[in-house]
Amino acid sequence: MKTLDCRDAGFDCEGKLRAETEEEILRQAGEHARTEHNTEVTPELAEQIKMLIKDEED
């Protein structure tokens, strides 16, 4: 399981994304950024997010 803490990406946010794959995390991050933060995941932010994704035991 891959996880991403939104605050690690620089947002003051308790949001935590979980998905099976990095691609799915990025897809969810795009949606989350739009709906929760009214912003877009730029290619630069996407690269940053990839490095922030953590592996978690199921």
Under DSSP, is residue 23 helix (H, G, I), strand (E, B) or coil?
helix
Our finding on whether 6 is near Zn ion (CB under 5 A) is yes
Under DSSP, is residue 55 helix (H, G, I), strand (E, B) or coil?
strand
Check if the beta carbon of residue 30 is closer than 8 Å to that of residue 43. Answer: no
Minimum CB separation from Zn ion for residue 11, in Å? 5
Q: Using the rule CB under 5 A, give the single segment among 19-27, 28-36, 42-50 that binds Zn ion.
A: 28-36
User: Of 15, 19, 27, 48, which lies in the binding site for Zn ion, with binding defined by CB under 5 A?
Assistant: 15
Minimum CB separation from Zn ion for residue 57, in Å? 23
